[in-house]
Structure 1
Amino acid sequence: MKLTIKQWIQVVVSLAVAIWIFWFLYKDVKMESLLEALQQASFFWIGMSIGISIIGFGVRAWRWKLLIDADLEKQLPTLRAFYGLMIGYLVNMLVPRAGEVARCGVLKKTEKLQLSKLLGTVILERSVDLLFMLLVIFLAFVLEREIFVGLAQELVSMEAIKLAFQEYLPLLISAVVLVVIVVYWVVNRYRDHGLVQKFHHFMRELVGGLKSVQRMKNRKGFWLASVGIWIIYFLMMYFIAKAIPSTANLSPSSVLMVMVMGSIGMIAPVQGGIGTFHALVAFILMTYGLTEEQGKIFAVIVHSSQVLIVLVAGVISLLAVAKISVITKPQAGHLRNN
C-alpha cells in the first residue's frame, strides 16, 4: 500500500502519540511485576481467550462474506474473506482506519470485485457494529448503573455538552447544507465530465453495497453473527479476567463494563488502540478496587493477546494472498448489474 508524504506524516504522528501514551502509562510499571503476573496467570484461560478470539475473527469474516455474496453469482469462499479481514487488521496497526480499504483491496485483487461495492459492505458492517456497541453500552448501564453514572458525572459535564450543542448546532447544520448545495451544483454543472461520471459510478456501487443487506439470502445468519461477535468479545475478556488472580473475582457485569471502556479505547485514531485501550481499561478496573498497576497489567495482557493473533494471522494471510495472486488466476463471481 503506497502512502503519500502527508499520509506518512499522519502515520508517524499517530504512532508517536500512541507510543507516548503507552510509555506514560507504563513508565512506573516494573517488568518484574508483569512477569510475576504472567507466572501466576492460568495459561489455560489465556489459551481459551486466544482460541475464542480466533473464532471471533472467523465469524467476522463469514458475516462479511454474507454481504458480499448478495451480489455474486458464485459464493465467495469464507477463507478469502478471512485473509482480507486479517490483512486489514494488520494494516490498521500501521495506519489507523486504512485497514478497511486494504481488506477491500485484497478482494479486488484476488476476486476481481468492485472496490466501491466492497467499501459499501464494510460501511454497513461498521454501522451494525456501532449499533450493537450502543446496545452493549446500554446493557452495561442497566447492570452497572451506579458505576456508570458515577463515571459519567466524573468525566462528562452535561451542562457543558448542552451549551456546546446549542452553540455549534446551527453552525453544523449550515455547513452541511452549504456542502450539499456546492456538491449538487458541481455535479450538475459538470455532469458530462469524466471525473463526475466516475464519481456517479462509485456512489452507485457504494450505495449498492450498503443495500446488500436487503438482498442477502441468509439474513438470520448475518444478525446472529453480529450478536455472536460481541458475545465472543466479552468471553475473550472474561477468560483473561479468570486467568489473572487480581481480576478472577470480577463479576460478569464488571467485565462487561471493562469491555465497554476497552471498545471506546479502540475507537481512538491511534494504531490498534495502543495507549487509549490500556488507559481506559486500567481506569475502570481501579473503580472495582484494583490497583493502578494491576489494571495496567490486565490491559497489556488482553491487548497483547489480540496483537499476537493479528500479527500471526495477518502475516499468514499476506503470504496466502501473495500465493493466490502469483500462482493462480482466481475465478471470481461476477457482480450482477442492478
Structure 2
Amino acid sequence: MKQKIVKTLKFLAFLALGVLLFWLVYKDQDVDRLKSVLKNDVNYWWVWLSLFFGLLSHISRTMRWNLMIEPLGKKPRLLNTFLAVMVGYLMNLVFPRMGEISRCGVLARYEKMSFTQLIGTVVVERIIDVIMLLILTFIVIVGQFGQVIQFLENNPDVKEKLNSVALSPWAVLSVISVIIVLYLMRNKLLRSSLFEKVRGILIKFAEGVKSIKAMKNKWAFIAHSVFIWGMYYLMLYVVFFSFDFTSHLSMIAGLTTFVLGSYGMVAPVQGGIGAWHFMVVQALMVYGIDKADGMVFALLAHTSMTAMMIIVGLLSLLALPFINRTKE
C-alpha cells in the first residue's frame, strides 16, 4: 500500500512539474492565433513523413536490441521485441525512466528470459545513446559557435542574465560548498546505498559490454546506432517544412534544435512536456524565429510525436497477449 502511494505521489509530482513548465512556456500565447496557424498554415504531409521516420527509428532500435540479446543465448521474436520497445515508450509517458524497466519486463515474460540480463543490455544501450548525443552536441558547438555568439550580441538581455548566473557569488559559493561537502563525506558516501546503486549499474554495464564484444555483427550494431539517431533528427527536421516561417532553416539549424530538444527530454517529466518545448523555442530564436512561431512549431512537433507513441504503445500493449496466446 505504501509503495502504491509513493508511486502515485511521484506520478503526480512529475506531471505537475511538466504542466507547470508547459504553462510557463505558453501562458502568454495567443490561443486564437495558434488555432488559426495549425488549421490554415500547416502542411501536414511533412508531419506524416516525420512520424514515418520515427517509426523507422523504433524498428531499428528493436533490431539493435535483438543484436545485443543474441550473445545471451536467446533470440526473441522481432515482433515481440518491437512491441516491448513501444510499451516502454508508452510507460515513459506515465513515469519518467520507467520505460526501460517495463520493456525488459514485457520481453522477459513473453520470451522466458532473464530480466536482470535484459536490464544489463538496456543500460549499455542507454550509454551508447548518451555517447551519440554527446557527439552531436560537439558537432553543434563547433559548427554553430559563431551563431550562438551572434545571438547573444543581438540579445543583450539574455547575455546579461547568463553572465549574472555564471558570475553570481551565490553560484560560485554553491559549487565550492558542494566540492567541500563531497570531500569531507567521501568515506560515508562510499558506504552509502547510492554508491551501491551506482556500483550495481557499473556491474550491469560491464555485463552489457561483454555482450557487445560477443556480438557477431558489431558493424550492424554501430550502423543501427547511427541510423536511430539519424531518424530522430529527421523526425524533427522535416517538420520545419510544415511552416513557411521555418522552411528556410538549414540542416545544421535543425540539428541544433534537435540536440537542445533532446536535453529537454532528459528532464524528469513525462515525455519532456514543457522542458522540450522551452528548449526548442529557445533554439529557434537563435535563428531569428519569432517566439510565438517557435511555440506553434514546438507544440505541433511534440504533440505529433507523443500521439504516435501513445497510439502505437497502447496497440502494442493490447496485441502482446493475443500474439503470444499459444505460448501462454
Both proteins in one fold, TM over 0.5: yes
Relative distance call for 1:65 and 1:174 in structure 2 (3 A) is farther
Query: Does the CA contact (< 8 Å) of 2:51 and 2:235 recur in 1?
Result: yes
TM-score of the superposed pair, with normalisation by structure 2 = 0.86
Corresponding residue of 2:257: 258
Corresponding residue of 2:275: 276
Q: Which moved more, 1:260-269 or 1:159-168?
A: 159-168
Corresponding residue of 2:51: 50
Corresponding residue of 2:79: 79
Relative distance call for 1:176 and 1:57 in structure 2 (3 A) is farther
Provide the rounded CA distance (Å) in 1 between the counterparts of 2:288 and 2:203.
53
Which letter maps to 1:275? G
Query: Does the CA contact (< 8 Å) of 2:124 and 2:205 recur in 1?
Result: no
Provide the rounded CA distance (Å) in 1 between the counterparts of 2:220 and 2:252.
27
Q: Does 1:232 align with 2:242?
A: no
Which letter maps to 1:126? R
Relative distance call for 1:203 and 1:227 in structure 2 (3 A) is closer
- Report matched runs for 1:159-238 at 5 Å: 164-172=174-182, 175=185, 177-181=187-191, 207-238=206-237
Secondary structure, in 3 states, of the residue corresponding to 1:64? Answer: helix
Relative distance call for 1:201 and 1:267 in structure 2 (3 A) is closer
Corresponding residue of 2:155: none
Which letter maps to 1:101? I
Instruction: Give, in angstroms, the shift of residue 173 of structure 1.
Output: 5.1
Which letter maps to 2:136? V
Relative distance call for 1:282 and 1:180 in structure 2 (3 A) is same
Provide the rounded CA distance (Å) in 1 between the counterparts of 2:166 and 2:210.
37
Query: Does the CA contact (< 8 Å) of 2:123 and 2:201 recur in 1?
Result: no
Query: Does the CA contact (< 8 Å) of 1:116 and 1:206 recur in 2?
Result: no
Relative distance call for 1:80 and 1:248 in structure 2 (3 A) is same
Query: Does the CA contact (< 8 Å) of 1:45 and 1:240 recur in 2?
Result: yes
Which letter maps to 1:287? V
Instruction: Give, in angstroms, the shift of residue 29 of structure 1.
Output: 2.2
Corresponding residue of 1:122: 122
Deviations 1:198-223 (A, max 9, x none): xx999977743343111111111111
Deviations 1:76-111 (A, max 9, x none): 222211111110110111111111101110011101
Relative distance call for 1:32 and 1:314 in structure 2 (3 A) is same
Provide the rounded CA distance (Å) in 2 between the counterparts of 1:201 and 1:138.
30
Provide the rounded CA distance (Å) in 2 between the counterparts of 1:3 and 1:246.
48
Instruction: Give, in angstroms, the shift of residue 155 of structure 1.
Output: 3.8
Instruction: Give the root-mean-square deviation of aligned CA atoms.
Output: 2.7
Which letter maps to 1:315? L
Secondary structure, in 3 states, of the residue corresponding to 2:292? Answer: helix
Query: Does the CA contact (< 8 Å) of 1:262 and 1:281 recur in 2?
Result: yes
Identical counterparts, % of pairs: 32
Which letter maps to 1:178? K
Query: Does the CA contact (< 8 Å) of 1:60 and 1:229 recur in 2?
Result: yes
Corresponding residue of 1:317: 316
Query: Does the CA contact (< 8 Å) of 1:123 and 1:210 recur in 2?
Result: no
Instruction: Give, in angstroms, the shift of residue 71 of structure 1.
Output: 0.7
Deviations 1:223-252 (A, max 9, x none): 111111121111111100011111111111
Structure 2: give runs of 5+ residues left out of the alignment: 153-157
TM-score of the superposed pair, with normalisation by structure 1 = 0.84
Corresponding residue of 1:336: none
Instruction: Give, in angstroms, the shift of residue 163 of structure 1.
Output: 5.7
Corresponding residue of 2:136: 136
Which letter maps to 2:66? K
Provide the rounded CA distance (Å) in 2 between the counterparts of 1:20 and 1:71.
44
Structure 1: give runs of 5+ residues left out of the alignment: 188-199, 331-338
Corresponding residue of 1:60: 61
Corresponding residue of 1:24: 24
Provide the rounded CA distance (Å) in 2 between the counterparts of 1:213 and 1:180.
29
Q: Does 1:329 align with 2:327?
A: yes
